[in-house]
Amino acid sequence: MAAPTEDLEVEGVTAFGPPPATEFRYVIELKNRKISLWMEDSAHKTQW
């Protein structure tokens, strides 16, 4: 029998270098045992 799963979502802001590096907003989501990652360049609004 599989263990019950719980949906989870985490949001935040990160940078991949010292200031004044570009900041990125992110969302990591676990839903129906699948993980998804969304990122947005805060300066240009480019999304991945």
Residue 38 has pLDDT above 60, yes or no: yes
Contacts 24+ apart (CB under 8 A), 38-45: 42/13
pTM for the model: 0.73
Give 43's pLDDT tier (boundaries 50, 70, 90). Answer: confident
Give 42's pLDDT tier (boundaries 50, 70, 90). Answer: confident
| Torsional sign, CA 45, 19, 38, 11 | negative
Q: What is the pLDDT of residue 4?
A: 61
The amino acid at residue 46 is T
Among 6-10, 13-17, 25-29, 42-46, name the one with the lowest average pLDDT.
42-46
